[in-house]
């Protein structure tokens, strides 16, 4: 088991964003968290990465509890985040943005690591001297993945990586996620685009109002009425 969240509970003041949810990612898996806006998907990722402090529950990574660790300490353990909205450094070049990924981990081997990342994301190679801010949104999303991969994670978290992209770039991002996974990295993927996310995921969880509404293999959930019901207000 790579990641295990047990009875995870997070509140923002009076708002209970996560109400005791359980989810796991096994080594080699792509796991999707889907569900309507406000369901708690981003909060779940942030709790795994240490950006929000849960008021209950436990997160273990490779069998070891990581509750209370700072995000940079979790990066050292092998967890990387592709944040919602990418959060790049727009006035820095593609190369410099990639180096920022290496900054906290493996600075000495950054050139070799960058070569591996550019191999996986060849669209970035010809752009590497450009400032990140002039790239298309889709290219910027690839760069956000590249920066996270510079940390050589065992588990990659991605929050809404296809939001706002053209359909053809959405396909490129999903293909990229599949390729990253094929090279051995576990993926926890949060997506508005539930159908395509579940099509590439081994397993998925449908969240609604801070709880797990349905779970199963990607295939099962795609055929399950619960997926549609989760998105209907009642």
Q: Tell me which residues touch Mg ion (CB under 5 A).
A: 41-42
Size of the site for ligand ADP (CB under 6 A): 11
> In this complex, which beta carbon is closest to ligand ADP, that of residue 36 or of residue 96?
36
The footprint of ligand ADP on residues 35-94 (CB under 6 A) is 35, 37-43
- Pairs from 201-206 (Cβ < 8 Å, separation ≥ 24): 201/30, 201/31, 201/32, 202/29, 202/30, 202/31, 203/29, 203/31, 203/32, 204/31, 204/32, 204/33, 204/34, 205/21, 205/23, 205/31, 205/32, 205/33, 205/34, 206/34, 206/35, 206/230
> In this complex, which beta carbon is closest to ligand ADP, that of residue 97 or of residue 193?
193
Residue 177 and residue 187 in contact, taking contact as beta carbons nearer than 8 Å: yes
> In this complex, which beta carbon is closest to ligand ADP, that of residue 99 or of residue 191?
191
> In this complex, which beta carbon is closest to Mg ion, that of residue 41 or of residue 110?
41
| 202 interface partner picked from ligand ADP, Mg ion, none, CB below 5 to 8 A per type | none
Q: How far is the CB of 181 from ligand ADP (least distance, A)?
A: 22
Near ligand ADP by CB under 6 A: residue from 5, 17, 79, 156: 17
| 215 interface partner picked from Mg ion, ligand ADP, none, CB below 5 to 8 A per type | none
b/e 179-195 (16+ beta carbons within 10 angstroms → b): ebbeeebbbbbbbebbe
| Contacts to ligand ADP by CB under 6 A | 12, 15, 17, 35, 37-43
């Amino acid at each position: 088991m790579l990641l295990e969240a047990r009875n995870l509970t997070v509140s923002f003041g009076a708002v209970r964003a996560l109400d005791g949810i359980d989810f796991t990612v096994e080594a080699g898996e792509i796991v999707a968290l889907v569900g309507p806006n406000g369901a708690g998907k981003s909060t779940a990722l942030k709790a795994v990465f240490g950006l929000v402090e849960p008021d209950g529950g436990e997160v273990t990574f490779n069998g070891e509890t990581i509750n209370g660790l700072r995000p940079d300490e979790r990066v050292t353990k092998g967890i990387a985040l592709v944040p919602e909205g990418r959060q790049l450094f727009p006035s820095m070049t593609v190369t410099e943005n990639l180096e920022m990924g290496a900054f906290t981990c493996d600075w000495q081997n950054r050139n070799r690591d960058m070569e591996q990342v550019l191999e996986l994301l060849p669209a970035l190679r010809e752009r590497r001297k450009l400032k990140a801010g002039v790239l298309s949104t889709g290219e910027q999303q690839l760069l956000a993945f590249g920066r996270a991969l510079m940390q050589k994670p065992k588990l990659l978290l991605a929050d809404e990586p296809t939001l706002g992209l053209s359909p053809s770039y959405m396909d490129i991002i999903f293909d990229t996620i599949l390729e990253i996974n094929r090279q051995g990295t576990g993926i926890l993927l949060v997506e508005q685009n539930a159908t395509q996310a579940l099509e590439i995921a081994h397993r998925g969880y449908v969240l609604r109002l801070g709880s797990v509404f349905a779970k199963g293999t990607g295939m099962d959930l795609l055929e399950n009425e619960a997926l549609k019901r989760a998105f209907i207000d009642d």
